[in-house]
Amino acid sequence: MDRLDNTIRPYAWGSTTAIPQLLGVEPTGEPQAEMWMGAHPGAPSRTDRGTLVDVIAADPERELGAAAVAKFGPTLPFLLKILAAGAPLSLQVHPNLEQARDGYADEERRGISVDAPYRNYKDANHKPELICALTGFDGLCGFRDPNEAAELLDGLGVDSLKPYVDLLHAHPEDAALREVLTAVLTADREEMARTVAEATAACSRLGGAYAPYADLAHHYPGDPGVIAAMLLNHVRLQPGEALYLGAGIPHAYLDGLGVEIMANSDNVLRCGLTPKHVDVPELLRIVRFEPSDPGVLRPEASPDGEEVYETPIDEFRLSRYVLPAGGAAHDLTRATPQILLCTAGTVRAGEHELTPGRSVFVPAGEKAEVSGAGTVFRATVVA
């Protein structure tokens, strides 16, 4: 197996302290948002054999296994991250596989540079994802029941929000949600900024269920995404709990440290809480306008101590082992590629000693045994 040297992305929303604290190093004072583990060309992990992209490209079947290559092609189908949100991320959705393929092909035909700020599809893949909390973790996930959203907006006492409240009481629910989100995102920017300012003042005054939106507005004053966010479920994860985010589900991460895994894609359609491009027509085509429960996931334990976060897709499978001091070693050998990540304590993986934030890549079929006292996350595929 290969010890991984991973890139930390300094996005502006990143925490300045969470990842350094996990790694046991001094903060630099700069935001450290995401540590990427995998073979994404934007920031591939490095090994003693070269980048993980190069290692896999040299012999895909040896590194990934014949079954994974047959099912997903000659690339690692997932990207594992440590994510540290010190400020809210953009409100966003991801396309399904067909939408991603069509959107990517269309933008390629139109000659839009992959680096263009108004490009929607950076690749032809979908991006289902899972976030597992390492600390208390706040997020937004999926639409509220429209009547609940109407009650929340109405409670602000802002006259310019009354038309949205009335729309949310209309039927059918999907049409009501679509009409309100469309109206919020296409409203006159100056008028919406005034509405957001009034709503922010009310949120700050009322506190309680309104407090998260006051904080959003602090980071993104006047952004219509503040009102759009109030249409969504607010979720507070405890350590070990997770959220699965499928195609078309609007979401945003607000604060906290977590392990994130996703299909190996960078396709994002933004709804707000961002200075970046918002393509409203394309966004409305992708969003699933249906109220839903956030569906907080808790791991399902197996007899061998593996705790699995069940999801409906095959590009990734995330689980963890909480290893007690003096416990028996666990054989994790598998016919598919794996990344093992330590998040607590000290864990031995083969000949490598892993402390929090350290990881290894295990080629398909290679002997993988872990022991020690700590927590190790296991990322692999279903093939």
Is 270 known to be catalytic?
Answer: yes
Please report, for the chain, how many H helices and E strands are present, in that order: 12, 21
Amino acid making up residue 75: T
Decide: 300 and 285 in contact? Cβ < 8 Å: no
C-alpha dist (Å) from residue 352 to 20, 110, 363:
21, 48, 15
Phi-psi label, residue 371: left if phi above 0, alpha if psi -120 to 50, beta otherwise:
beta
| DSSP string across 101-134 | HHHHHHHHHTT--TT-TT---SSS----EEEEES
130: β partners:
244, 261
34: tokens are 């995401």
Structure tokens that stand for 162 in this block: 């009354």
Q: How far apart are CA 178 and CA 291, in angstroms?
A: 11
Query: Is there a contact between 261 and 79 (Cβ–Cβ < 8 Å)?
Result: yes
**Residue 348 bridge partners (DSSP):** 353, 371
Q: Considering 3, 46, 144, 270, which one is annotated as catalytic?
A: 270
Q: Are 380 and 337 in contact (CB under 8 A)?
A: yes
Q: Residue 69: left if φ>0, alpha if ψ -120 to 50, beta else—which one?
A: alpha
Return the number of other C-beta atoms located less than 10 Å from residue 49's C-beta. Answer: 12
Count of beta carbons in the 10 Å neighbourhood of residue 321: 21
Q: How far apart are CA 49 and CA 27, in angstroms?
A: 29
Which positions are catalytic? 270
